[in-house]
């Protein structure tokens, strides 16, 4: 696959599995299983994000940093997105070394 920056990254280009479109009503059972868990914290990652070139090409340390911030977001019930506090110690306990953490 040729992933260059000048090639548009679309869902159609990246999707390898095509699922049939279901028609009609869904059963109560399928609606129950196709929703976020009610008793757990969760975060939403869209297919557009996961299929993006930036997401697929990030380093392991970048992925650990993003995962730790997502975990912190879930720990606050998804409400304090702009005010999350994650210290160097928190990142180190999650597996990042201090020199891999960059402050912007």
Task: List, for residues 20-55, the tens digit of each pLDDT value.
Answer: 665 655 555 555 666 777 777 777 888 899 999 999
In a domain, 2, yes or no: no
Whether 31 is in a domain gets the answer yes
Q: Is residue 47 part of a domain?
A: yes
The 3-state secondary structure of 31-87, one letter per residue? HHHCCCCCCCCCCCCCHHHHCCHHHHCCCHHHHHHHHHHHHHHHHCCCCCHHHCCCC
| 52 lies in some domain | yes
**pLDDT confidence of residue 41:** 77
Tell me whether residue 32 is in a domain.
yes
Mean model confidence pLDDT for the chain: 75
Residue 60 lies in a domain: yes
Question: What is the number of structural domains in the chain?
Answer: 1
**Residue 4 within any structural domain of the chain:** no
For 44, the domain range is 11-100
Q: How far apart are CA 70 and CA 64, in angstroms?
A: 10
Tokens 């390898």 appear where? Answer: 16
């Amino acid at each position: 696959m040729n992933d260059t920056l000048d090639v548009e990254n679309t869902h159609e280009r990246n999707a390898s599995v095509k699922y049939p479109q279901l028609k009609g009503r869904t059963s109560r059972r399928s609606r129950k299983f196709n929703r976020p868990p009610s008793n757990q914290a969760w975060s939403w990652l869209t297919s557009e994000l996961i299929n993006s070139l930036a997401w697929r090409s990030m380093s392991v340390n970048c992925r650990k940093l993003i995962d730790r911030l997502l975990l912190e977001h879930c720990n606050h019930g998804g409400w304090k997105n702009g005010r999350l506090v994650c210290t160097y110690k928190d990142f180190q306990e999650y597996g990042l070394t201090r020199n891999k953490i960059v402050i912007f």
